[in-house]
Amino acid sequence: MSQHNIAGKKVAFLLTDGVEQVELTSPWNAVKEAGGEPTLVAPKSGTVQGYDGTDKGQTFDVDLTAAEANAADFHALVIPGGVVNADHLRADKDAQAFTRAFFEQHKPVASICHGPWLLIEAGVLNGRSLTSYHTLQTDLKNAGANWSDQEVVVDQGLVTSRNPHDLPAFNDKLLEEIAEGEHAGQTA
């Protein structure tokens, strides 16, 4: 059981086909176990296909499309990784706008592995400290971020990690930031 109680807090999980399954299910379960209410948001309705590396995993039901979802209805945002997932999300204008709104509203955002690619397109990284899967470091630095190779990096409500091995630390910091609430320094 988590040391952080986030009872009643609504957490959006933004993803699409190609999501690295454990980077969805592990934080999702952590949020639920801490009393939070996760919601799956995707660019399209229906289901999304999860992957375990390059192998197909489970499918997950979409609760809201990114066009329908409103950041004002949530306390935090989680962006799981997966190369295909992240590449498709970063090209989606509704996903970009939904993500940017969390920063504009000073709400916690957590992103792991390839997920931070979307943060580049949302225009929210200039001057921010973060980590990601190592192959994204040049892209993130070019977007103005201060990238470092660490298990988890927290910067004013922005939580990032590198890969599935970092999930325990990622989940703990995600819950801590949600419990703390809005952060004045979390801004677009």
Contact of 69 with 12, CB cutoff 8 Å:
yes
pLDDT by residue (tens digit) across 139-169? 999 999 999 999 999 999 999 999 999 999 9
**1 falls in which pLDDT band (50, 70, 90)?**
very low
Does position 2 have pLDDT exceeding 60, yes or no? no
Residue 107 corresponds to which tokens in the numbers above? Answer: 């709400």
Does position 187 have pLDDT exceeding 70, yes or no? yes
**4 falls in which pLDDT band (50, 70, 90)?**
confident
Pairwise CA distance, residues 131 & 97, whole Å: 22
Q: Which residues are catalytic?
A: 113-114
pLDDT by residue (tens digit) across 18-64? 999 999 999 999 999 999 999 999 999 999 999 998 999 999 999 99
CA 148 to chain centre: 18
DSSP the chain: --SS--TT-EEEEE--TTEEHHHHHHHHHHHHHTT-EEEEEESSSSEEEEEETTEEEEEEE-SEETTT--GGG-SEEEE---HHHHHHHHT-HHHHHHHHHHHHTT--EEEETTTHHHHHHTT--TT-EE---GGGHHHHHHTT-EE---SEEEETTEEEESSGGGHHHHHHHHHHHHHH---TT---
What share of the chain has pLDDT > 70, as a percent? 99
Taking residues 85-102, report their average pLDDT. 97
Strand partners, 51: 20, 56
Does position 3 have pLDDT exceeding 90, yes or no? no
Q: Does domain 10-177 have CATH number 3.40.50.880?
A: yes
